[in-house]
Structure 1
Amino acid sequence: MSSHRAAAPSPDEVLTAALDIGGTKIAGALVTPDGELVHRVRRATPARESAEVLLGAVYEVVSGLAAHPSWEHVRALGIGSAGPVDLTHGTVSPVNIPAWRDFPLAASVEAHPALAHRRVVLAGDAVAMTAAEHRHGAARGYGDALCLVVSTGVGAGLVLNGRVHHGLTGNAGHFGHISVDFDGEPCPCGARGCLEGIASGTAITRHALSLGWRSSPASDASPDAAAVAAAARAGETAALAAFDRAARALAAGIAATAALVEIDLAVVGGGVAQSGEVLFGPLEHHLRRYATMPFLRRLRAVPAELGSDAGLVGAAVLAEVGAPVEVGALVDGSR
């Protein structure tokens, strides 16, 4: 299936609303039980504005969804938000949205008049992507898996024993902040040598530039991982080295996670994964070097299937099942 095409719901089909909130966009959709997007609303995130302005933008998206004729069939709304999140209190503190620190996003969204008598469920965006790939994508049928988002940052979620694993506060799977280089560069999180600082699209571009790669003079766009990938496909040494370094870091992190919780599948999505064989070729090579224990021999990395819609589809999946934390279940800051 593909979640990219719009579908007309049957007159009595129950739908789920979903929000995907990040540093650049706030997306919303009505989603069928099969993961099809019926109606979309999107606006830019006013990331440098006040908390109130940001919430107003979220409300605009919710109102746009509620204006659709199928809204009467919506029973719940799921939110996948950039993190960290705190599901115990229903709050978010996205690194790329400075005005939201311990912001009560779940309760604030539930207060929208259109959501009266509808369940609201909050999750981290990478966990939402994991729920989508597990229900409808590349991790279908797997009881245990790791699902990665490799883009301007690196996030992930875990499927354990057939269920998406959220952790105590909803932050399980913070894959980008596994340290893979003890003497590496300082990370904004406070640690050193974090995987995100080596394998993200930003890090790939930065490393390629440090090795002497330069984007085409004919290009008006700023250098990015897509341009580095194009150069790598053309055989440019610096670009190939930057992707090899990123793939090695990802392989080390995937193998370490697999050794800890015994998974045999890693699903890799996000913008960097669109690089294709430039990433997956060296990733497979390095995975074989790090995943050497007998119980890891089946471990493999595969591309995600749902693309940029995964966050919306996954937020809807989590809202359908009422997990991990419903706003109505939050009483005096406890579950």
Structure 2
Amino acid sequence: MSDHAAPARGTVLGIDIGGTKLAAALVSADGTILAGDRIRTPDGGADQVFAALGELIERVRGDATPLAVGIGSAGPLDQRHGLVSPVNIPGWRNFPLVDRVRALTGDVPVTLGMDGHCFALGEYWSGAGRGAKTLLGIVVSTGVGGGLVVDGKPLIGQSGNAAHIGHVVVDQDGEACACGSYGCVEAYASGPRMVARAKRRGWRTEEDVDAAVLAADAAAGDELALATFDDGAQALAAGIVATAVTVDLTTVVIGGGVAKAGPVLFDPVQAWVKRLAQLPFITELAVEPAQLDNAGLLGAAHQAWAALA
């Protein structure tokens, strides 16, 4: 993304909100980012965080007047009332984000979507999911989130929280999950949970390490690291296949920090999907790595364009 805003006709403003970064961009109807910037999400109270977002919005839009605004945010969120309570932004609890952004940008449509939905939309629009009939996007990071695109539209559900693939139960006798259930995909495939499992098996028990180190060790042939990635991959594959048989998937795109592990994640995921996907209508299911580093931002912009259609 460029660092400086430029006046642009026929654009929307896309906004991507997470616990570590805030991003915004002016995006044309064909998905081109015309001006954009990002900042680190500040610590502090509700108004301090929003003030930083407001400065970012003003800097990015410059003299342009966006036709609409699309926001993708970490959840949970209340889509009907435009409220967000991102787990990793403690200052925002039932924060009226849509109303506050509209006050800055004028009387234009402002849409709000889950970050996982926006990731899937962005990859569908401009990334690895282009041309897919039915797409599942998965973000594997500190948690496991997702989004579905069916016939070119996000499947959001009645509450706006559909496609929480991280909380598909893949082992009813499995480990406790942070959501309160047991045996969820996230309990096996998220970065922190894989690291914790590897440590319980004796891997780097005295070190403060993360999933990137686990991935590097797996790539170097460490048996404990490889076994842990295989466990995570099996859980992901089970969640993918459960979703595939439910909505008749054609394509899966996986992104997020853990997906940067590359073949040590994707090889076993693809092998497990092939093993588990036996019904004829899902045997050709494609599982691909994400292509974009700003899929969430583009997906938020796609939402905005859709609101104008």
Q: Shorter-chain TM-score: which interval? A: over 0.9
1:117, CA displacement in angstroms?
3.1
Structure 1 segments unaligned to the other structure (5+ residues): 325-335
Misfit runs of 4+, over 4 Å = 4-9
Q: Does 1:89 align with 2:81?
A: yes
Map 1:263-302; keep pairs closer than 5 Å.
263-302=249-288
How far, CA to CA, are the matches of 1:263 and 1:154 in structure 2? 19
Q: Tell me if 1:43 matches 2:29.
A: no
Find 2:198's aligned residue among 208, 211, 233: 208
Q: Distance in 1 between matches of 2:282 and 2:118?
A: 26
The amino acid that maps onto 1:316 is: A
TM-fit CA distance, 1:28:
1.4
Residue 79 (structure 1) shift:
0.6
Q: What residue is the counterpart of 1:117 in the other structure?
A: 107
Structure 1 window deviating more from structure 2 (310-319 vs 36-45): it is 36-45
Displacement after TM superposition at 1:257 (Å): 0.3
Q: Secondary structure at the match of 2:148?
A: strand
* % same residue: 45
Structure 2's unaligned 5+ residue stretches are none
Give the match's secondary structure for 1:75.
Answer: coil
The alpha-carbon deviation at position 125 of structure 1 amounts to 0.7
What displacement does 1:101 show? Answer: 2.4
- The separation in 2 between residues aligned to 1:36 and 1:56, in whole angstroms, is 27
Separation in 2, partners of 1:7, 1:22: 22
Report what 1:332 is aligned to.
none
Per the normalisation by structure 2, the TM-score is 0.92
What is the CA distance between 1:323 and its match in structure 2? 7.8
Aligned residue in 2 for 1:149: 139
1:126-205 correspondence to structure 2 within 5 Å: 126-205=116-195
Partner of residue 228, structure 2: 242
Structure 1 residues 91-100 or 153-162, which shifts more? 91-100
Q: Which amino acid aligns with 2:274?
A: R
**Conserved in 2, the CA contact under 8 Å of 1:146 and 1:266?**
yes
> Closer, same or farther in 2 for the Cα pair 1:37/1:156, shift >3 Å?
same
Counterpart of 1:285, as a letter, is A
Determine helix, strand or coil for the equivalent of 2:81: coil
Letter in 2 for 1:166: I
The aligned amino acid for 1:27 is A
Q: Which letter maps to 2:249?
A: I
1: CA distance between counterparts of 2:158 and 2:114?
13
Q: CA deviation at 1:268?
A: 0.7
Give, in angstroms, the shift of residue 61 of structure 1.
Answer: 1.6
SS in 2 for 1:287: helix
Distance 1:215 1:22 in 2: 30
Aligned partners of 1:215 and 1:227 also within 8 Å: no
Matched, 1:312 2:297: yes
Q: Is the 8 A contact 1:19 1:315 kept in 2?
A: yes
Q: CA deviation at 1:8?
A: 9.6
Could you tell me whether the CA contact under 8 Å between 1:215 and 1:223 is conserved in 2?
no
Partners of 1:76 and 1:18 in 2: CA distance: 9
Give the Cα–Cα distance (whole angstroms) in 2 for the partners of residues 169 and 323 of structure 1. 22
Matched residue, 1:333: none
The one-letter code sitting in structure 2 at the alignment partner of 1:108 is R
Is the 1:5–1:36 Cα contact (8 Å) retained in structure 2? no
Three-state SS of the structure 2 residue aligned to 1:240 is helix
CA RMSD of aligned residues (A): 2.3
Helix, strand or coil at the partner of 2:68: strand
CA gap 1:283/1:323 in 2 versus in 1, 3 angstroms: farther
Give the Cα–Cα distance (whole angstroms) in 1 for the partners of residues 111 and 290 of structure 2: 24
CA distance in 1, matches of 2:274, 2:3: 40
Distance 1:7 1:267 in 2: 31
SS for the counterpart of 1:173 is coil
